[in-house]
Chains A and B, each alone.
Chain A
Amino acid sequence: MGTSLDIKIKRANKVYHAGEVLSGVVVISGKDSIQHQGVSLTVEGSVNLQLSAKSVGVFEAFYNSVKPIQIINSTIEMVKPGKFPSGKTEIPFEFPLHVKGNKVLYETYHGVFVNIQYTLRCDMRRSLLAKDLTKTCEFIVHSAPQKGKLTPSPVDFTITPETLQNVRERALLPKFLIRGHLNSTNCVITQPLTGELLVESSEAAIRSIELQLVRVETCGCAEGYARDATEIQNIQIADGDVCRSLSVPIYMVFPRLFTCPTLETTNFKVGKRDGCRPAPPGLPIMTALTEGPWSLRRTHGSARGGLGRGPEGVRGACGPPRGASPPCDEGSGGPRVSPRAGCSARGRGCRGHFPWRRFVEPPERFYLQHYIRTGALWGQDSRVRSREGARLGWWPNT
Chain B
Amino acid sequence: MAVFPWHSRGRNYKAEFASCRLEAVPLEFGDYHPLKPITVTESKTKKVSRKGSTSSTSSSSSSSVVDPLSSVLDGTDPLSMFAATADPAATDSSRKRRDRDENSVVGSDFEPWASKRGEILTRYTTTEKLSINLFMGSEKGKGTATSAMSEKVRTRLEELDDFEEGSQKELLNLTQQDYVNRIEELNQSLKDAWASDQKVKALKIVIQCSKLLSDTSVIQFYPSKFVLITDILDTFGKLVHERISSLCVDHRSVLPDHFSPENVNDTAKETCLNWFFKIASIRELIPRFYVEASILKCNKFLSKTGISECLPRLTCMIRGIGDPLVSVYARAYLCRVGMEVAPHLKESLNKNFFDFLLTFKQIHGDTVQNQLVVQGVELPSYLPLYSPAMDWIFQCISYHAPEALLTEMMERCKKLGNNALLLNSVMSAFRAEFIATRSMDFIGMIKECDESGFPKHLLFRSLGLNLALADPPEGDRLQILNEAWKVITKLKNPQKREVNTVLADVIKHMTPDRAFEDSYPQLQSIIKKVIAHFHDFSVLFSVEKFLPFLDMFQKESVRVEVCKCIMEVFIKHQQEPTKDPVILNALLHVCKTMHDSVNALTLEDEKRMLAYLINGFIKMVSFGRDFEQQLSFYVEARSMFCNLEPVLVQLIHSVNRLAMETRKVMKGNHSRKTAAFVRACVAYCFITIPSLVGIFTRLNLYLHSGQVALANQCLSQADAFFKAAISLIPEVPKMINIDGKMRPSESFLLEFLCNFFSTLLIVPDHPEHGVLFLVRELLNVIQDYTWEDNSDDKIRIYTCVLHLLSAMSQETYLYHIDKVDSNDSLYGGDTKFLAENNKLCETVMAQILEHLKTLAKDEALKRQSSLGLSFFNSILAHGDLRNNRLNQLSVNLWHLAQRHGCADTRTMVKTLEYIKKRSKHPDMGHLTELALRLPLQTRT
Contact = CB atoms under 8 A, between A and B. Distances in A.
A372 to B, nearest CB: 12
B367 A305 contact: no
B283 A384 contact: yes
B161 to A, nearest CB: 5
A240 B288 CA distance: 15
A150 to B, nearest CB: 20
Interface string B374-397: 000000000000000000000000
Nearest to A198: B319
Interface string B114-155: 000000000000000000000000000000000111100100
B323 interface: yes
B411 interface: no
A46 to B, nearest CB: 12
Interface residues of A, number: 58
A256 B214 CA distance: 28
A209 B278 contact: no
Interface stretch (B3-11, B357-365, B522-530, B783-791): B357-365
B320 A249 contact: yes
A393 B320 contact: no
B28 to A, nearest CB: 45
Most buried by A among B266, B302, B303: B266
A395 B326 contact: no
A242 B319 contact: yes
B281 A243 contact: no
A397 B320 contact: no
A127 interface: no
A307 B317 contact: no
B156 A393 contact: yes
Nearest to B261: A305
Contact of B153 (A4, A12, A239, A394): A394
A238 B214 CA distance: 12
Contacts of B148: 134, 136
Interface string B884-903: 00000000000000000000
Contacts of B362: 241, 243
B138 to A, nearest CB: 12
Contacts of B91: none
Interface in B280-319: 280-286, 288, 302-303, 313, 316-317, 319
A6 B161 CA distance: 28
Interface in A218-233: 233
Most buried by A among B276, B283, B313: B283
Given A249-B316, A255-B277, A384-B283, A392 B204 contact: yes
A312 to B, nearest CB: 16
A246 B164 CA distance: 34
Given A238-B322, A243-B359, A386-B164, A12 B266 contact: yes
Contacts of A134: 147-148
B278 A305 contact: no
B321 interface: yes
B267 interface: yes
B274 interface: yes
B291 to A, nearest CB: 10
A37 to B, nearest CB: 18
B281 A391 contact: yes
A64 interface: no
Nearest to A384: B283
B157 A389 contact: yes
A247 interface: yes
Contacts of A51: none
B366 interface: yes
A249 B319 contact: yes
A248 B160 contact: no
Interface string B47-67: 000000000000011011000
A240 B165 CA distance: 24
B317 A305 contact: no
B686 to A, nearest CB: 86
B516 interface: no
A251 B317 contact: yes
A161 B506 CA distance: 70
Nearest to B273: A305
A284 to B, nearest CB: 15
A92 interface: no
B266 A88 contact: no
A237 B285 contact: yes
B186 interface: no
Contacts of B302: 305
A177 interface: no
Contacts of A242: 319-322
A12 B358 contact: no
A240 B157 contact: no
Interface string B698-720: 00000000000000000000000
A156 B533 CA distance: 62
B160 A389 contact: yes
Interface of B is mostly: helix
A205 B366 contact: yes
A13 B270 contact: yes
Contacts of A329: none
Contacts of A234: 283
A236 interface: yes
Interface string A119-156: 10000000000000011111000000000000000000
A237 B317 CA distance: 7
A392 B60 contact: no
B623 interface: no
A111 B275 CA distance: 21
A385 B283 contact: yes
A243 B358 contact: yes
A114 to B, nearest CB: 16
Interface in B544-572: none
B319 A248 contact: yes
Nearest to B214: A239
A27 B317 CA distance: 46
Contacts of A236: 283-285, 288, 320
A285 to B, nearest CB: 20
A318 interface: no
B274 A239 contact: no
B199 A398 contact: yes
Given A239-B284, A241-B365, A390 B160 contact: yes
A346 interface: no
Given A236-B285, A392-B203, A243 B319 contact: yes
A393 B160 contact: yes
Most buried by A among B199, B204, B273, B286: B273
Contacts of A393: 156-157, 159-160, 200
Contacts of A248: 316, 319-320
B780 interface: no
B331 interface: no
Contacts of B286: 239
A253 B278 contact: no
User: A-B pairs with the 3 shortest C-beta distances?
Assistant: A240-B322, A238-B320, A253-B280
29 contacts: A12-B267, A13-B270, A87-B64, A134-B147, A136-B148, A138-B149, A192-B280, A209-B320, A233-B281, A233-B283, A236-B283, A237-B320, A238-B321, A239-B214, A239-B323, A240-B214, A240-B321, A241-B323, A249-B313, A304-B273, A305-B273, A388-B281, A389-B161, A389-B164, A391-B278, A392-B281, A392-B282, A397-B270, A398-B275
Interface of A: 4, 6, 11-13, 27, 29, 87-88, 119, 134-138, 192, 205-206, 209, 233-243, 246-249, 251-253, 255-256, 304-305, 307-308, 382, 384-386, 388-398
Interface of B: 60-61, 63-64, 147-150, 153, 156-157, 159-161, 163-165, 199-200, 203-204, 214, 243, 265-267, 269-271, 273-278, 280-286, 288, 302-303, 313, 316-317, 319-323, 326, 355, 358-359, 361-362, 365-367
Given A87-B64, A248-B316, 12 more contacts: A12-B267, A12-B270, A135-B147, A209-B320, A236-B288, A237-B317, A238-B322, A239-B214, A241-B365, A242-B320, A246-B319, A304-B273
